[in-house]
Protein backbone atom coordinates (compact mmCIF):
# COMPACT_ATOMS: atom_id res chain seq x y z
CA UNK A 1 0.00 0.00 0.00
CA UNK A 2 1.39 3.36 -0.96
CA UNK A 3 2.01 6.00 1.63
CA UNK A 4 -0.11 9.13 1.64
CA UNK A 5 1.94 11.98 0.26
CA UNK A 6 2.72 14.57 2.90
CA UNK A 7 4.74 17.64 2.01
CA UNK A 8 6.17 19.93 4.64
CA UNK A 9 8.14 23.07 3.93
CA UNK A 10 10.41 22.19 6.84
CA UNK A 11 11.36 18.94 5.11
CA UNK A 12 12.40 20.58 1.85
CA UNK A 13 16.01 21.38 2.62
CA UNK A 14 17.79 24.39 1.20
CA UNK A 15 20.29 22.06 -0.46
CA UNK A 16 17.76 21.20 -3.15
CA UNK A 17 18.02 23.20 -6.38
CA UNK A 18 15.37 25.83 -7.24
CA UNK A 19 13.95 23.61 -10.00
CA UNK A 20 13.01 20.91 -7.49
CA UNK A 21 11.69 23.37 -4.91
CA UNK A 22 9.52 24.88 -7.65
CA UNK A 23 8.28 21.40 -8.59
CA UNK A 24 7.39 20.76 -4.94
CA UNK A 25 5.27 23.91 -4.87
CA UNK A 26 3.46 22.80 -8.03
CA UNK A 27 2.70 19.44 -6.43
CA UNK A 28 1.38 21.12 -3.30
CA UNK A 29 -0.85 23.43 -5.33
CA UNK A 30 -2.13 20.63 -7.57
CA UNK A 31 -2.84 18.41 -4.58
CA UNK A 32 -4.76 21.19 -2.83
CA UNK A 33 -6.95 21.69 -5.92
CA UNK A 34 -7.64 17.94 -6.15
CA UNK A 35 -8.51 17.73 -2.45
CA UNK A 36 -10.91 20.67 -2.80
CA UNK A 37 -12.65 19.09 -5.80
CA UNK A 38 -12.84 15.80 -3.91
CA UNK A 39 -14.38 17.59 -0.93
CA UNK A 40 -17.03 19.19 -3.15
CA UNK A 41 -17.88 15.83 -4.70
CA UNK A 42 -18.06 14.11 -1.31
CA UNK A 43 -20.28 16.82 0.15
CA UNK A 44 -22.53 16.76 -2.92
CA UNK A 45 -22.94 12.99 -2.64
CA UNK A 46 -23.71 13.32 1.07
CA UNK A 47 -26.34 15.98 0.33
CA UNK A 48 -28.00 13.73 -2.27
CA UNK A 49 -28.22 10.96 0.33
CA UNK A 50 -29.67 13.41 2.87
CA UNK A 51 -32.33 14.55 0.40
CA UNK A 52 -33.21 10.96 -0.45
CA UNK A 53 -33.53 10.13 3.24
CA UNK A 54 -35.87 13.10 3.73
CA UNK A 55 -37.83 12.02 0.67
CA UNK A 56 -38.18 8.50 2.05
CA UNK A 57 -39.27 9.84 5.45
CA UNK A 58 -41.89 12.05 3.79
CA UNK A 59 -43.10 9.11 1.72
CA UNK A 60 -43.45 6.95 4.85
CA UNK A 61 -45.28 9.70 6.74
CA UNK A 62 -47.63 10.39 3.82
CA UNK A 63 -48.40 6.71 3.44
CA UNK A 64 -49.17 6.44 7.17
CA UNK A 65 -51.52 9.44 6.96
CA UNK A 66 -53.22 7.96 3.91
CA UNK A 67 -53.72 4.62 5.68
CA UNK A 68 -55.23 6.42 8.67
CA UNK A 69 -57.58 8.38 6.41
CA UNK A 70 -58.78 5.20 4.67
CA UNK A 71 -59.43 3.49 7.99
CA UNK A 72 -61.41 6.49 9.25
CA UNK A 73 -63.33 6.64 5.98
CA UNK A 74 -64.49 3.06 6.45
CA UNK A 75 -65.18 3.47 10.15
CA UNK A 76 -67.31 6.60 9.56
CA UNK A 77 -69.14 5.15 6.56
CA UNK A 78 -67.75 7.86 4.33
CA UNK A 79 -68.68 10.73 6.64
CA UNK A 80 -65.96 13.40 6.36
CA UNK A 81 -64.93 14.25 9.92
CA UNK A 82 -62.73 17.23 10.85
CA UNK A 83 -59.84 14.82 11.46
CA UNK A 84 -60.30 13.31 7.99
CA UNK A 85 -60.37 16.75 6.38
CA UNK A 86 -57.13 17.63 8.15
CA UNK A 87 -55.57 14.34 7.08
CA UNK A 88 -56.61 14.93 3.48
CA UNK A 89 -54.88 18.29 3.44
CA UNK A 90 -51.73 16.82 4.99
CA UNK A 91 -51.75 13.95 2.49
CA UNK A 92 -52.06 16.38 -0.42
CA UNK A 93 -49.19 18.42 0.95
CA UNK A 94 -47.12 15.27 1.38
CA UNK A 95 -47.69 14.23 -2.23
CA UNK A 96 -46.82 17.70 -3.48
CA UNK A 97 -43.68 17.59 -1.36
CA UNK A 98 -42.70 14.23 -2.87
CA UNK A 99 -43.02 15.75 -6.36
CA UNK A 100 -40.82 18.62 -5.23
CA UNK A 101 -38.28 16.12 -3.91
CA UNK A 102 -38.08 14.53 -7.38
CA UNK A 103 -37.46 17.93 -8.96
CA UNK A 104 -34.88 18.76 -6.30
CA UNK A 105 -33.02 15.48 -6.83
CA UNK A 106 -33.02 16.01 -10.60
CA UNK A 107 -31.65 19.53 -10.15
CA UNK A 108 -28.97 18.30 -7.75
CA UNK A 109 -28.00 15.50 -10.14
CA UNK A 110 -27.65 17.97 -13.02
CA UNK A 111 -25.62 20.35 -10.87
CA UNK A 112 -23.32 17.57 -9.64
CA UNK A 113 -23.02 15.74 -12.95
CA UNK A 114 -19.56 16.99 -13.79
CA UNK A 115 -18.08 16.94 -10.28
CA UNK A 116 -16.51 13.47 -10.78
CA UNK A 117 -14.94 14.80 -13.99
CA UNK A 118 -13.44 17.76 -12.21
CA UNK A 119 -12.16 15.55 -9.40
CA UNK A 120 -10.65 13.08 -11.86
CA UNK A 121 -9.05 15.86 -13.93
CA UNK A 122 -7.61 17.47 -10.79
CA UNK A 123 -6.35 14.07 -9.61
CA UNK A 124 -4.66 13.41 -12.97
CA UNK A 125 -3.00 16.83 -12.88
CA UNK A 126 -1.77 16.28 -9.31
CA UNK A 127 -0.45 12.80 -10.20
CA UNK A 128 1.36 14.21 -13.26
CA UNK A 129 2.99 16.97 -11.20
CA UNK A 130 3.95 14.46 -8.50
CA UNK A 131 5.49 12.03 -11.00
CA UNK A 132 7.33 14.89 -12.71
CA UNK A 133 8.76 15.96 -9.34
CA UNK A 134 9.99 12.45 -8.53
CA UNK A 135 11.55 12.12 -11.99
CA UNK A 136 13.20 15.54 -11.76
CA UNK A 137 14.64 14.65 -8.37
CA UNK A 138 15.88 11.27 -9.61
CA UNK A 139 17.67 12.88 -12.57
CA UNK A 140 19.19 15.48 -10.24
CA UNK A 141 20.44 12.74 -7.90
CA UNK A 142 22.03 10.95 -10.84
CA UNK A 143 23.71 14.12 -12.09
CA UNK A 144 25.01 14.89 -8.60
CA UNK A 145 26.37 11.36 -8.30
CA UNK A 146 28.07 11.58 -11.69
CA UNK A 147 29.62 14.94 -10.81
CA UNK A 148 31.27 13.37 -7.80
CA UNK A 149 31.95 9.82 -8.99
CA UNK A 150 31.27 9.80 -12.73
CA UNK A 151 34.82 10.14 -13.98
CA UNK A 152 36.07 7.39 -11.70
CA UNK A 153 33.14 5.14 -12.62
CA UNK A 154 33.84 5.57 -16.33
CA UNK A 155 37.54 4.87 -15.80
CA UNK A 156 36.73 1.69 -13.87
CA UNK A 157 34.33 0.53 -16.57
CA UNK A 158 36.97 1.28 -19.20
CA UNK A 159 39.48 -0.80 -17.27
CA UNK A 160 36.97 -3.64 -16.95
CA UNK A 161 36.30 -3.54 -20.68
CA UNK A 162 39.97 -4.03 -21.34
CA UNK A 163 40.65 -6.72 -18.73
CA UNK A 164 37.41 -8.70 -19.07
CA UNK A 165 37.53 -8.42 -22.84
CA UNK A 166 41.11 -9.60 -22.88
CA UNK A 167 40.28 -12.59 -20.71
CA UNK A 168 37.26 -13.50 -22.82
CA UNK A 169 39.24 -13.20 -26.04
CA UNK A 170 41.87 -15.55 -24.67
CA UNK A 171 39.38 -18.41 -24.31
CA UNK A 172 40.25 -21.27 -26.63
CA UNK A 173 37.64 -23.65 -28.02
CA UNK A 174 33.86 -23.36 -28.34
CA UNK A 175 32.53 -20.03 -27.01
CA UNK A 176 28.80 -19.88 -26.20
CA UNK A 177 28.67 -16.09 -25.79
CA UNK A 178 29.98 -13.08 -27.66
CA UNK A 179 33.45 -12.43 -26.29
CA UNK A 180 34.49 -9.12 -27.79
CA UNK A 181 35.39 -6.41 -25.21
CA UNK A 182 32.32 -4.23 -25.86
CA UNK A 183 29.86 -7.12 -25.47
CA UNK A 184 31.61 -8.39 -22.36
CA UNK A 185 31.40 -4.93 -20.77
CA UNK A 186 27.69 -4.64 -21.63
CA UNK A 187 27.08 -8.03 -20.04
CA UNK A 188 28.98 -6.97 -16.92
CA UNK A 189 26.96 -3.75 -16.63
CA UNK A 190 23.74 -5.70 -17.11
CA UNK A 191 24.60 -8.22 -14.40
CA UNK A 192 26.06 -5.74 -11.90
CA UNK A 193 23.87 -2.66 -12.45
CA UNK A 194 20.92 -2.98 -14.83
CA UNK A 195 19.43 -6.23 -13.49
CA UNK A 196 19.66 -5.22 -9.79
CA UNK A 197 18.23 -1.79 -10.64
CA UNK A 198 15.26 -3.32 -12.46
CA UNK A 199 14.47 -5.56 -9.50
CA UNK A 200 15.01 -2.85 -6.89
CA UNK A 201 11.86 -1.69 -5.10
CA UNK A 202 12.61 1.84 -3.97
CA UNK A 203 10.90 2.60 -0.68
CA UNK A 204 9.58 5.96 0.43
CA UNK A 205 11.81 5.64 3.50
CA UNK A 206 15.03 5.26 1.50
CA UNK A 207 17.70 7.92 1.89
CA UNK A 208 17.52 8.91 -1.78
CA UNK A 209 13.87 10.00 -1.61
CA UNK A 210 12.66 13.52 -0.89
CA UNK A 211 11.94 14.03 2.82
CA UNK A 212 8.24 13.66 3.57
CA UNK A 213 7.27 12.87 -0.02
CA UNK A 214 6.12 9.44 -1.13
CA UNK A 215 7.45 7.82 -4.29
CA UNK A 216 3.84 7.52 -5.42
CA UNK A 217 0.96 9.98 -5.43
CA UNK A 218 -1.90 9.65 -2.95
CA UNK A 219 -3.80 6.37 -3.37
CA UNK A 220 -7.12 8.21 -3.32
CA UNK A 221 -5.99 10.42 -6.21
CA UNK A 222 -5.11 7.32 -8.22
CA UNK A 223 -8.57 5.91 -7.50
CA UNK A 224 -10.23 9.19 -8.50
CA UNK A 225 -8.21 9.38 -11.71
CA UNK A 226 -9.48 5.93 -12.71
CA UNK A 227 -13.04 7.27 -12.61
CA UNK A 228 -12.30 9.73 -15.39
CA UNK A 229 -14.55 9.04 -18.41
CA UNK A 230 -12.95 8.56 -21.80
CA UNK A 231 -13.01 11.45 -24.31
CA UNK A 232 -15.70 9.58 -26.27
CA UNK A 233 -17.83 9.12 -23.15
CA UNK A 234 -17.45 12.79 -22.25
CA UNK A 235 -18.49 13.88 -25.73
CA UNK A 236 -21.52 11.59 -25.66
CA UNK A 237 -22.63 12.84 -22.24
CA UNK A 238 -22.24 16.48 -23.27
CA UNK A 239 -24.33 15.92 -26.39
CA UNK A 240 -27.03 14.22 -24.34
CA UNK A 241 -27.08 17.11 -21.89
CA UNK A 242 -27.32 19.65 -24.74
CA UNK A 243 -30.25 17.70 -26.19
CA UNK A 244 -32.02 17.75 -22.83
CA UNK A 245 -31.46 21.49 -22.47
CA UNK A 246 -32.70 22.03 -26.01
CA UNK A 247 -35.86 20.10 -25.24
CA UNK A 248 -36.47 22.13 -22.08
CA UNK A 249 -36.23 25.42 -24.01
CA UNK A 250 -38.87 24.25 -26.49
Domain match, 67 and 172 both: no
Domain match, 89 and 161 both: no
pLDDT tens, the chain, 250 aa long: 334 344 445 455 577 899 999 999 999 999 999 999 999 999 999 999 999 999 999 999 999 999 999 999 999 999 999 999 999 999 999 999 999 999 999 999 989 988 999 999 999 999 999 999 999 999 999 999 999 999 999 999 999 998 987 776 655 544 445 668 888 899 999 999 999 999 988 876 566 778 778 888 999 999 999 988 788 877 887 787 777 666 665 5
Domain match, 104 and 142 both: no
Reduced to 3 states (helix: H, G, I; strand: E, B; else coil), residue 77 is coil
8, 212 in Cβ contact below 8 A?
A: yes
Domain match, 228 and 146 both: yes
Domain match, 107 and 153 both: no
pTM for this one?
Answer: 0.78
Domain match, 72 and 179 both: no
Query: Is position 244 within any domain?
Result: no
What's the domain count of the chain? 2
Domain match, 87 and 170 both: no
Domain match, 71 and 166 both: no
Domain with 167 in it: 113-194+217-236
Q: How far is CA 79 from CA 62, 85, 230, 239, in A?
A: 21, 10, 63, 56
* Among 51, 80, 111, residue at a domain's last position: 111
Distance CA 115, CA 95 (A): 31
Domain match, 154 and 224 both: yes
The predicted pLDDT at position 13 comes to 58
Amino acid sequence: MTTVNQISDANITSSLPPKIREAVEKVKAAKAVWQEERRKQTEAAAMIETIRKRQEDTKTETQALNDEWRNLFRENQGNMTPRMKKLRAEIALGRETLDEFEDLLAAQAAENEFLPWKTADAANHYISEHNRLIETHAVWLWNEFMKEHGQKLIQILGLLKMTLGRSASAVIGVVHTVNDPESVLKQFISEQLTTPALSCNVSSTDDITLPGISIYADDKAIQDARQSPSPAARSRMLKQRDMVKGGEKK
